[in-house]
Amino acid sequence: MHQCFSSVVCRPYILPLMTSHDRTDHSRPQPVHWADQTANRIISDKGPRGADRPHYTCASGITPSGTVHIGNFREIISVDLVVRALRDAGHSVRFIYSWDDFDVFRKVPANMPNQDILAGYLRRPITDVPDPFGELSSYAERNERDLETVLPEVGVDPEYIYQAPKYRASEYAPGIRTALEKREVIRAILDEHRTTPLPDDWWPVSVFSRFSGKDTTKVVGWDGEWGLTYRCEETGEQETVDLRVTDLVKLPWRVDWPMRWKVEGVDFEPAGKEHHSAGGSFDTAKRVVADVYGSAPPVTFKYDFISIKGRGGKISSSTGEVIGLAEVLEVYEPQIVRYLFAGTRPNAEFAISFDLDVIKIYEDYDRCERIAFGVEEVGEKRAAKERRTYELSQFGPTSYPPAVGRMPLQLPFRTLCNYLMITAGDIDAALDRFAEYDPAVHADELPRLRRRAICAWNWITSCAPEDFRFELKDGSEPPVALAPQELAAVHAVRDEVSSRLDSHDEKSMQERIYEIAHEQGVDKRRIFAVLYDVLIGKERGPRLGGFLITIGRQRLLQILDRY
C-alpha cells in the first residue's frame, strides 16, 4: 500500500470501507500500475456501482486563462489513465473536463498577440475577452479549442463542460444559494488557514457588474433567498439580481470547486501540488463539500510539476514560448507521450527532454514494446509492469494487442534520424532504406511509421545538438583540400563504391575501408576523418560502412567524382 495514498486528505472517508473488504483480501494481488491502484481505491472508497451510481465520475479541469501547457496536460492524462483502468476493470465511467471560462481575466500572458487589446479586458470573465487571433468567439474559446483539437491525437476524449454558460443560465443557482446560507461555515473553514481573517462584509460569491462588465464589485446584501444586491465600484451603480435568472454571479474558486463536485457527483479528481497541502484549495474544498454541500470529497492524488529539458527549461517563459502538448507531439509520437506519463508515478516530478534524451526515450519505449510482446525477456515483475504501461500507452482501434497480431515494426530512432539526414528529410525515401520495412507487409503501419519519421525530422531540425546533425554534400561544394595519400585513398574508395558497393554489407564495407587505409598508407583514424569531411564536412559521423551503403552509389559518386 502506498503511503502517499492514505494521506490525511481522505482518511475520514476511506477507513471504514477499507477495513471491510480490500484490506483483508490478500488473495488478490496488488496491481502493479498506479492507475490500476487508483482505480481500486476509487472502487473501494466510493463503493460499488448501483442504482444511485450507474458509473464512476472522473473529473479534470482548468481555467483557460492562457495557453494550456504540458504541465496542465499531466492532470488530463492522469485522469484518462485512471479512467482507462476503471474501464478495463469492467466499470462504466464518465470522464468530464470542466473549463472554468467564467473565471476572471487577471493578466495578459506574454505569448499572446494584441497585448494592448487584451489588456483592455482585464477583470472581465474570460469568456467575454475577445480572441486575440480574431478567429474565435472569445479568448477562452481560443485556449479551449487549442487543447480540444490536440487531445484526440493522444487518445483523450473527455466530455467537456463549459462553466460560463452554466453559470449564466443559473444552473448553479441552488449551489450559490447554499453557499450564501452557509456563509459563516465557509468563512470559518477558510479563515483557519488565512493570515488575515476574511472581512466582516465578505460573501462567498463574486459578481460581475452589469454596468462595467468587471468583477470590481461589492456585495452589499442578500435577502435570504434569491435576491443579491451588489454595488459596482467603478460606476457606483447598485442593483439587486435574482440568482435564478442572473448571468452575473459566480462562486469563488474555493467554493466553486466543491460545489461542482456535488453537482457532478465527482468520484475522482487529482490536483496539482499547489492545491494539495494543508490550507490549500483541495484541503478547504473537501471540508466545504462535506460541511456545506453534504457530500464526500472525491478520491484524489497529487501530481507533481513537469519541467522541460533541452528547450528553454521552462514550460512557460516570460518571453512568450509555451510548451504545450502540441509542441511535445512534434518530437514524440502520441503513444510515447502517453508512455511518458503512464510510466511515471504522478507524484514524481520529471522533465520532458528535447535534447539527446529523446533517443533514449524512443529506445526505452521500443524496449517496453518488445517486453510487452514477449520478444525480450525480463523478470516477471518487471514484465508485468512494462506490459501494463505499454497497454495504457496504446489507444484507439489499433490498441494493444494490435489487430495484426504481431509486434509493430520498430524503426530505431537513431537510425531513422541518420536516414532522414541522408535523404534531407524525404520520409518515404528514408523508410525505404530500412531493410525490415516491406510496404506490402507493413501497409497498415505506414501512418505510424511516417509519424515517427516526422517526429525524428522535427527533432533533427529544431532540437538535436549540432554534433549530431549532418548534411550530406551534393557535389557542388568545393572539394576538401587533401594530402596526396589521402586523395589516393579517396580515389580508392570511389573505385570501390563505383564497382563493388552493391556486393558489400556493412561489415565488409567497413573492413574494406581499413584495407584501403593500409594500402594507401593512410592512418586508419585519419581515413575516417577524411571521408567524413568529404561527405558531410565534419570530423565524425555515423559508422561508415553502413553509412556508405545507405547513401548509395549514385549520390556517393556525385560527391567522390570531384576528387
Partner RNA sequence: GGGCGGCUAGCUCAGGGGUAGAGCAUCUGACUUUUAAUCAGAUGGUCGCGGGUUCGAAUCCCGCGCCGCUCACCA
CA 238 to centroid of chain Cα atoms = 46
Sign, CA torsion 369/372/378/381 = positive
Is residue 140 within 8 Å of 126, Cβ to Cβ?
yes
Interface residue with RNA among 465, 476, 502, 554 (CB under 7 A) is 465
Q: Is residue 106 a contact point for RNA (CB under 7 A)?
A: yes
Q: Of 177, 276, 286, 448, which lies in the binding site for RNA, with binding defined by CB under 7 A?
A: 276
| Residue 253 · residue 281 · CB < 8 Å | yes
User: How many C-beta atoms surround the C-beta of residue 283 within 10 A?
Assistant: 20
Q: Which residue lies nearer to RNA by CB, 99 or 226?
A: 99
Which of 37, 127, 206, 335 is in the footprint of RNA by CB under 7 A?
Answer: 206
Among 128, 146, 149, which residue's Cα sits nearest to residue 137? 128
Coil, strand or helix at 391: helix
Of the candidates 364, 363, 370, 372, the residue with the CA atom closest to the CA atom of residue 390: 372
Interface with RNA, residue 540, by CB under 7 A: yes
Q: Which of 4, 15, 375, 404 binds RNA (CB under 7 A)?
A: 4
The stretch near RNA (CB under 7 A) out of 79-87, 89-97, 227-235, 271-279 is: 271-279
Toward RNA, which CB reaches closer, 114 or 485? Answer: 485
Hey, what amino acid is at 187?
R
Q: In whole angstroms, how close is the CB of 13 to RNA at the nearest point?
A: 17
Burial of 377 from C-beta contacts in 10 A (0-12 / 13-18 / 19+): exposed
Q: Which of residues 296-335 bind RNA (CB under 7 A)?
A: 302, 305
Q: Which stretch binds RNA (CB under 7 A): 16-24, 110-118, 127-135, 414-422?
A: 414-422
Closest by alpha carbon to 102, among 58, 65, 148?
A: 65
Helix (H) or strand (E) holding 272: strand 271-272
Is 196 a binding residue for RNA by CB under 7 A? The answer is: yes
Q: Which of residues 369-408 bind RNA (CB under 7 A)?
A: none
The least CB distance from residue 518 to RNA, in Å, is: 8
Say if CB 228 and CB 219 are below 8 A apart.
yes
Q: Which stretch binds RNA (CB under 7 A): 136-144, 220-228, 442-450, 466-474?
A: 466-474
Cα 367 to chain centroid, rounded: 21
- The window from 35-43, 330-338, 397-405, 522-530 that contacts RNA (CB under 7 A) reads 522-530
Position among 23, 244, 500, 524 found at the interface with RNA (CB under 7 A) = 524
Contacting residue, 474, 515, 519, 561, with RNA by CB under 7 A = 515
Residue 200 as a binder of RNA (CB under 7 A): the answer is: no
Quote the radius of gyration of the chain (alpha carbons, Å).
30
| DSSP label of 265 | T
Each residue 331-370 as x (binds RNA by CB under 7 A) or -, in order, gives --------------x-xx------xx--------------
Q: Which of 41, 124, 187, 254 binds RNA (CB under 7 A)?
A: 254
The residue (of 133 and 305) whose beta carbon lies closer to RNA is: 305
CB of 356 to RNA, least distance (A): 4
CB of 305 to RNA, least distance (A): 7
Q: Is 446 exposed, middle or buried (0-12, 13-18, 19+ CB in 10 A)?
A: middle
Do 105 and 139 form a contact (C-beta atoms < 8 A)? yes
CB atoms within 10 A of CB 336: 24
CB of 191 to RNA, least distance (A): 9
Instruction: Choose, by CB under 7 A, the member of 288, 430, 497, 544 that binds RNA.
Output: 544
Sequence-distant (≥ 6) Cβ neighbours of residue 555 within 8 angstroms: 472, 474
Question: Cα dist. 119→107, 124, 137, 285, 403 in Å?
Answer: 8, 10, 17, 31, 52
Choose among 128, 120, 68: nearest CA to 101.
128
440: left (phi over 0), alpha (psi -120 to 50) or beta: alpha
Count the helices and strands in the chain (H runs, E runs). Answer: 22, 12
Does position 287 bind RNA by CB under 7 A? no
Q: Does 551 bind RNA (CB under 7 A)?
A: no
CB 563 within 8 A of CB 489: no
| Closer of 56 and 102 to RNA (Cβ) | 102
Bridge partner list, 162: 99
**In angstroms, what is the minimal distance from the CB of 444 to RNA?**
29
Q: How far is the CB of 140 from RNA (least distance, A)?
A: 13
Residues β-bridged to residue 94: 57
Q: Does residue 8 interact with RNA by CB under 7 A?
A: yes
Residue 58, helix vs strand vs coil: strand
Q: How many residues bind RNA (CB under 7 A)?
A: 57
For residue 108, what is the enclosing H or E element? none
Binding track, positions 73-102, relative to RNA; x by CB under 7 A: ---------------------------x--
468 binds RNA (CB under 7 A): yes
Q: Which is nearer to RNA, 321 or 506 (CB)?
A: 506
CA 432 vs CA 201, 428, 439: distances in Å: 73, 6, 9
Contacting RNA within 482-511 (CB under 7 A): 507, 510-511
Interface segment toward RNA; rule CB under 7 A; list 16-24, 119-127, 246-254, 554-562 = 246-254
* Site string (419-438) toward RNA, x via CB under 7 A: --x-----------------
197 prior amide bond cis, ω within 30:
no
| Closer Cβ to RNA, 329 or 387, answer by number | 387
Shortest Å distance, C-beta 479 to RNA: 21
The CB-of-467 to RNA minimum distance in angstroms stands at: 5
Binding site for RNA (CB under 7 A): 3-4, 7-8, 63, 100, 103-104, 106, 193-196, 206, 252-254, 256, 273-281, 302, 305, 345, 347-348, 355-356, 417-418, 421, 465, 467-468, 470, 507, 510-511, 514-515, 524-526, 528-529, 532, 540-544
